[in-house]
C-alpha cells in the first residue's frame, strides 16, 4: 500500500493528542517511579515500553500470569498497579474490583473506530460518563491462511464462506468458524447487518440468528476440523488447504517455509480486544503513573496496538475494518455452544 492511508492518518492524529497526557509525566514520576503490569495475554512491545520510560522516567515491570484467574488474584492482593484483560473478562469482574479512571486524563479522541465501538463497555452502570473502568490497549486478530500451492481465493480476497466450501478440507476453532459464518450471512443479506453482534446480548434475537447459522453450517461441516492440532501445523503438513488462525501463527508457519498466504476475510476480521484495568486494591501512589501509561499506549496508534503480529500479514485497511468481539450473555453462550455440538459433534 502507499504511504498515506487511514492507518497513517490515525497515527498522526494520535501523535498530536499524546502531548497533554505526557506533560503529566513529571508528576507521575514523582508519585511512582515504577508500576507493575500483570497480564496473562499479550502486552505492549519493548519499543512502547522503552518510549514510555524515555518520556516519563517511569519504568513498567511486566509480570506474566498463567491465566486470567491469576491476573485477578494479583489484582485482589495488591501486587498489580495495572492489569491487562480482555474486555469481556473485565466486565465480569464488575465495579468492586475495578477502580474508575477519568476520561479527561485520556486521549479519547485519538482512538480508532475499531476501539471506539466498545465505548459503552468501558463504564459500569451508574458511573458518570467520564468514569471508565476498562481502557483499550491492544488487540489480536484471526484471518484466513491457505496453501498457495493448492488454492487461490476467487477474486483474490478469501471469505469465511471459502472455509465452508465442501471441495477442500479446512480448519478453524468452532466458535470462530460459526461467527465467521454469521458474518458471511450478514454480508450476503441472509442476516441483517449487525445482527450477529447484537445477538450476543439480545436473547430473543439470538434464537433467530443461531437458527439461521445452524441451518447454513450443518450441511457444510463434514470437511471442517474444529478440534485437534493447530491450524498452522495442519496447513504445513498438508492436512488442510485453508484455516482460520491468528496472524502470529500464520507468520511463524510461513517463516518456517510453509507455502502459505494469509489475509483478513473480505467480511472483516474478528478481533479480540484487550485493555487496561486498574484494581481497586492498587497502591494509591501509582494512580497517576498508571493513567499516564494507559494514555501513552492508547495514543501511540489510535488504541490499535497490534499485539498479534497481524500487521506483518494483514493489509492496514483490513485492520481498521475489523469486528471487535463483544461479550456474550450466558443465554447466548449456551445457545452458541449447543449449536456447535450439533454441528461438529
Relative orientation angle of helices 330-344 and 203-217, to the nearest 10 degrees: 10
What does the chain come to in residues? Answer: 345
* Bigger pLDDT: 295 vs 228: 295
pLDDT digits (tens, 9 = 90+) for 111-138: 766 566 565 567 677 777 777 777 777 7
Phi, psi of 206 (to 5 degrees): -60, -35
For residues 74 and 38, the answer to whether their CB atoms sit within 8 Å is: yes
- The DSSP result for 152-191, as a single string, is --TTSS--HHHHT-TTS-EE--HHHHHHHHHHHHHHHTSS
Please give the CATH architecture assigned to the domain spanning 140-270+324-344.
3-Layer(aba) Sandwich (3.40)
Q: What's the confidence (pLDDT) of residue 12?
A: 34
Residue 219 pLDDT grade (very low, low, confident, very high; cuts 50, 70, 90): very high
pLDDT digits (tens, 9 = 90+) for 151-169: 888 877 899 999 999 888 9
Residue 278: pLDDT above 90?
Answer: no
Phi, psi of 97 (to 5 degrees): -100, -15
Residue 316 pLDDT grade (very low, low, confident, very high; cuts 50, 70, 90): low
Residues of the chain with CATH 3.40.190.10: 6-139+272-313, 140-270+324-344
Q: What's the confidence (pLDDT) of residue 60?
A: 92
pLDDT digits (tens, 9 = 90+) for 233-248: 888 888 899 999 887 7
Task: Enumerate residues 6+ apart whose C-beta is below 8 A from 216.
Answer: 181, 185, 190
Q: What's the confidence (pLDDT) of residue 24?
A: 46
Q: What's the confidence (pLDDT) of residue 7?
A: 35
CATH: 3.90.1150.10, 3.30.499.10, 3.40.190.10, 3.30.530.20. Which one for 6-139+272-313?
3.40.190.10
Amino acid at each position: 500500500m502507499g504511504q498515506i492511508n487511514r492507518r497513517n492518518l490515525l497515527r498522526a492524529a494520535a501523535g498530536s493528542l499524546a502531548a497533554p497526557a505526557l506533560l503529566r509525566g513529571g508528576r507521575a514520576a514523582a508519585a511512582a517511579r515504577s508500576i507493575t503490569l500483570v497480564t496473562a495475554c499479550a502486552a505492549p512491545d519493548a519499543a512502547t515500553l522503552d518510549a514510555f520510560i524515555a518520556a516519563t522516567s517511569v519504568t513498567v515491570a511486566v509480570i506474566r500470569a498463567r491465566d486470567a484467574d491469576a491476573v485477578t488474584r494479583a489484582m485482589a492482593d495488591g501486587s498489580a498497579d495495572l492489569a491487562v484483560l480482555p474486555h469481556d473478562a473485565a466486565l465480569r469482574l464488575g465495579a468492586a474490583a475495578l477502580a474508575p479512571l477519568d476520561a479527561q486524563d485520556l486521549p479519547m479522541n485519538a482512538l480508532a473506530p475499531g476501539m471506539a465501538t466498545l465505548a459503552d463497555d468501558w463504564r459500569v452502570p451508574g458511573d458518570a460518563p467520564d468514569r471508565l473502568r476498562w481502557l483499550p490497549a491492544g488487540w489480536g486478530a484471526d484471518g484466513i491462511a491457505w496453501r498457495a500451492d493448492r488454492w487461490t481465493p476467487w477474486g483474490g480476497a478469501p471469505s469465511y464462506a471459502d472455509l465452508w466450501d465442501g471441495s477442500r478440507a479446512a480448519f478453524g476453532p468452532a466458535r470462530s468458524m460459526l461467527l465467521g459464518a454469521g458474518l458471511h450471512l450478514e454480508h450476503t443479506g441472509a442476516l441483517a447487518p449487525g445482527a450477529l453482534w447484537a445477538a450476543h446480548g439480545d436473547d430473543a434475537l439470538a434464537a433467530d440468528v443461531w437458527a439461521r447459522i445452524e441451518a447454513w453450517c450443518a450441511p457444510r461441516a463434514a470437511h471442517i476440523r474444529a478440534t485437534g492440532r493447530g491450524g498452522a501445523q495442519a496447513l504445513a503438513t498438508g492436512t488442510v488447504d485453508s484455516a482460520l488462525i491468528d496472524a502470529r501463527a500464520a507468520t511463524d508457519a510461513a517463516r518456517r517455509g510453509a507455502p502459505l498466504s494469509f489475509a483478513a476475510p473480505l467480511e472483516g476480521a474478528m478481533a479480540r480486544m484487550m485493555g487496561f484495568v486498574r484494581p481497586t486494591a492498587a497502591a494509591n501512589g501509582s494512580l497517576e503513573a498508571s493513567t499516564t501509561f494507559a494514555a501513552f499506549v492508547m495514543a501511540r496508534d489510535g488504541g490499535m496496538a497490534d499485539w498479534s503480529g497481524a500487521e506483518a500479514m494483514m493489509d492496514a485497511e483490513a485492520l481498521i475494518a475489523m469486528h471487535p468481539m463483544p461479550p456474550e450473555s450466558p443465554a447466548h453462550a449456551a445457545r452458541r455452544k449447543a449449536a456447535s455440538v450439533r454441528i461438529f459433534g
